[in-house]
Amino acid sequence: MARQPLNDLAAFAAVARVRSFTAAAAELGVSPSALSHAMRGLEERLGVLLLARSTRSVAPTEAGEALLERLGPALVQIDQGLTALSARRSEPAGVVRLTTFHWIASTLLAQRLPAFLARHPDIRVEVNVDDGLTDIVASGFDAGIRLGETVEKDMIAVRIGPPLRTVVVARPEYWQAHGRPGHPRDLQRHRCIGYRNVSSGTLMPWEFEKDGTALRQQVTGPLVCNSSDLALAAVRAGLGVGWAMEQDVVEDIEAGLLEPVLDDWSQPYPGAFLYHPSRRQVPPPLRALIDFLKG
């Protein structure tokens, strides 16, 4: 029997590893339907069923597991060889698939990514903005950028930004009319602008810390959204109280348009981290991006 094309075998390994045609297709840069068709063709040529499919999942059969056991180490060696070869290039080239959330995309990446791409014309960066916690391995991403406390412990994490701080703010006239809270619990009687995480469907609590004591406070008010820009616009319009990144409102505070409260409960916390799966050799395009962002 003729040897099967290496790309079909690599595609099978990807599907078997992540157990999803959609996730494997994203990782390979093809459509799920094209990937499914390729797998059926591979099974027909081999004369054996490699993948057990249902409406909700896909998993390797016993024959598929046996093939994957032999195939996996060989593919790792090929990947490492190609990575080492790419590292010999004077300039890194290739694609970096990145996932992050809206605030990082509109601040850190918006400020720094254009300069990185100008410096590395042979690198293409694909950015997926998702406020939910994405499984970068299952979804086919090379790396993600999140706040430090949300990064999974089995990932390699590199700090790429300074510590951050969130503050509670409102217009001075709002505080004059409704009183200033002396404790986060006092926010329960205020008109707070809430944020709902679309992925989980939950209303995000406001987080505080003082003298080593952490507190998570649920709030209510006239507006709930999943846009920090809209929430901040509502606060600036005097609609109520907001919980915002300090750097987003520092000019408003300095101009006297917004006034912060609960300053002693608003402690700095670890900022943004780029994280990626543990692997012996980091692909040169990703290494270049890491070095640039942490510099």
Examine the pLDDT at 2 and tell me if it is beyond 50.
no
Mean pLDDT over each residue of the chain, to the nearest integer: 88
Predicted confidence at residue 232, as pLDDT, reads 96
Examine the pLDDT at 47 and tell me if it is beyond 60.
yes
Domain count, the chain: 3
Residues 187, 216 within the same domain = yes
Over residues 128-140, the pLDDT tens digits come to 998 777 778 778 8
Q: Dihedral through CA 108, CA 157, CA 210, CA 254, nearest 10? A: -10
The CATH number of the domain holding residue 230 is 3.40.190.10
Predicted confidence at residue 145, as pLDDT, reads 93
Examine the pLDDT at 38 and tell me if it is beyond 70.
yes
Per-residue pLDDT band for 4 (boundaries 50, 70, 90) equals low
- Residue 175 CA to residue 235 CA, distance in Å, equals 12
Please compute the mean of the pLDDT values over residues 38-61 and round it to a whole number: 87
Examine the pLDDT at 108 and tell me if it is beyond 50.
yes
Chain centre distance of CA 56:
24
CA distances from 263 to 55, 56, 182 (A): 52, 49, 10
Residues 232, 254 within the same domain = yes
In a domain, 1, yes or no: no
Residues 284, 157 within the same domain = yes
Give the range of the structural domain holding residue 37, as residue numbers without chain letter. 6-87
Residues 133, 276 within the same domain = yes
* pTM to 2 decimal places: 0.67
The CATH number of the domain holding residue 17 is 1.10.10.10
Residues 68, 117 within the same domain = no
In contact, 241 and 235? CB cutoff 8 Å: yes
**b vs e for 268-281, b when ≥16 Cβ sit within 10 Å of the residue's Cβ?**
eeebbbbbbeeeee
Residue ending a domain, among 28, 59, 87, is 87
